Amino acid sequence: MLNRPYTIITSEVTVDGKLTLYRGASSKELMTLMDIEAYKYLHQIRAKVDAIMVGCETVRTDNPSLTVRYVEGKNPIRVIPCGSGNIPTDANIFSKEAPTWVLTTPRMPEETKKAIEEKGHKVFVFEKDRLDFKEIWQFLWEKGIKSILVEGGSYVNWQLVKNKLVDEIRLIHLPVVVGGEDIPTLVGGEGFKSLSKLLHLRLRAHFVRGRQLITEWEVVKDKSF
C-alpha cells in the first residue's frame, strides 16, 4: 500500500461538466458566476490541507494565487507539476505568502530554476521525462504532506484518477451550460474507455451554499478499477 497524502479534488464545474469557456480560456471568467459563499467553501478546504496543487497549464492560463483569503487560516504549500519547466517566474504562485514547490524534469531551463529558487521557493527535479504521479505522491508524503487539495486542471485530475490517488471529489456546481467540443472537463486525459475500469463514487453530502449546489463524493475503493 502506497503511503500518500489524503487527496481531495475540488472544482467548479458547469452543468455540462466544463471547467472553462473554451480551450485556453482562464476559468477565472467562469468563476465570476460564483458568489462569496462558494469562495468561502473552497477556501475552507484550502485552509485545512497541507498542500494545494494545480497543473502548470492552469498556472499559465489562470495565474492563480492558491492562498486562503475568504476565511481565516493558514496557506497550504503550493505544489505545481510542470514537466516542461515552462512556468512564468513572475506568476502569482511565486508570491511570498506561501512556499511553492515546482516538481519538474531535466527539461526545465536552468535559468528558470535559478529564478524560482532566488525567490525563496523550491524546485524538485525528477529524473524521468514525465512525472510519475505515484512517485510524486509518495515523495510528498515523505516530505510531510499528509493531505492535499487538487484544483485541476483537467489533465492533472486525470493523472490522479488514473493512478488511483483520489479519496474525494468535491464539486461546486455552476448553474450554466457552456457547450462545445474540446473544452476541458473535470477529468481529461485518454479516459478509461471500459466499464470495468471506471472510478466509482458514493455521494456523501449535498447542500446549497449561497447560489451554488455543492456535492461531495467519496471514492469507492473496492469497486473502482
Ligand X SMILES: NC(=O)c1ccc[n+]([C@@H]2O[C@H](COP(=O)([O-])OP(=O)(O)OC[C@H]3O[C@@H](n4cnc5c(N)ncnc54)[C@H](OP(=O)(O)O)[C@@H]3O)[C@@H](O)[C@H]2O)c1
List contacts with ligand X (CB under 6 A).
11-12, 19-20, 25-27, 54-58, 61-62, 81-84, 86, 130-131, 133, 151-156, 159, 184, 188
Least Å from the CB of residue 175 to ligand X: 14
CB nearer to ligand X: give 19 or 98: 19
CB nearer to ligand X: give 155 or 192: 155
Least Å from the CB of residue 225 to ligand X: 19
Return the half-sphere exposure (C-beta side, CA atoms, 13 A cut-off) of residue 14.
20
CB nearer to ligand X: give 8 or 19: 19
Least Å from the CB of residue 193 to ligand X: 18
Return the half-sphere exposure (C-beta side, CA atoms, 13 A cut-off) of residue 52.
27
Least Å from the CB of residue 185 to ligand X: 9
Rounded to an integer, what distance in angstroms lies between the CA atom of residue 188 and that of residue 18?
10
Least Å from the CB of residue 24 to ligand X: 6
CB nearer to ligand X: give 145 or 156: 156
CB nearer to ligand X: give 111 or 222: 111
Rounded to an integer, what distance in angstroms lies between the CA atom of residue 118 and that of residue 115?
5
Q: Note if the bond before 180 is cis, omega within 30 degrees.
A: no
Least Å from the CB of residue 147 to ligand X: 19
Answer yes or no: are the C-beta atoms of 17 and 176 closer than 8 Å. no
Count of beta carbons in the 10 Å neighbourhood of residue 139: 17
CB nearer to ligand X: give 47 or 174: 174
169 beta partners: 9, 217
Torsion of CA 87, 164, 132, 181, to 10 degrees: -50
Phi-psi region of 152 (alpha: psi -120 to 50; beta: other; left: phi over 0): left
CB nearer to ligand X: give 191 or 220: 191
Answer yes or no: are the C-beta atoms of 208 and 188 closer than 8 Å. no
Closest CA to 153 of 42, 32, 20, 51: 20
Least Å from the CB of residue 209 to ligand X: 15
